[in-house]
Amino acid sequence: MKDSKIDIVSWILFIVLALIWGSSFILMKKRLQVYSNVQVACLRIIIGGLFFLPVLIINIKKIEWHKLKHFAAIGFIGSFIPAFMFATAQLYLPSGTCGILNSFTPFL
């Protein structure tokens, strides 16, 4: 009985994640009608940062501050640059194409 409950919760979380992930490119395209690509990228970074702020507050004592430059480099390469690149790509490519290109990220 417990396994079926975990399966249902896992599927619900998976579907919610797929909806959020899949709609992000369509929403970026809509936002680009009002904001510039730099503003859209900054909004994505700020909203993501606000979402993870509670995690930071909870785990602030566990952070190894001497590794801060490594965290900053990973954040810059893994989040900051792609946010700006995808916001710029949305100006020229359809949302579906950008979503497909994003799915290739693990291969890089």
With a cut of 70, say whether residue 32 has pLDDT above it: yes
**Would you state the pLDDT for residue 82?**
86
Using CA atoms of 67, 71, 72, 78 in order, give the dihedral in degrees to the nearest 10. 160
Backbone torsions φ then ψ of 68, nearest 5 degrees: -60, -40
33 and 72 Cβ atoms separated by less than 8 Å: no
Q: What is the pLDDT of residues 42-70, one digit of tens each?
A: 998 998 899 999 999 999 999 888 988 99
Count Cβ atoms below 10 Å from residue 53 Cβ, excluding itself.
10
Q: How far apart are CA 95 and CA 90, in angstroms?
A: 6
Structure tokens at 48: 């993501």
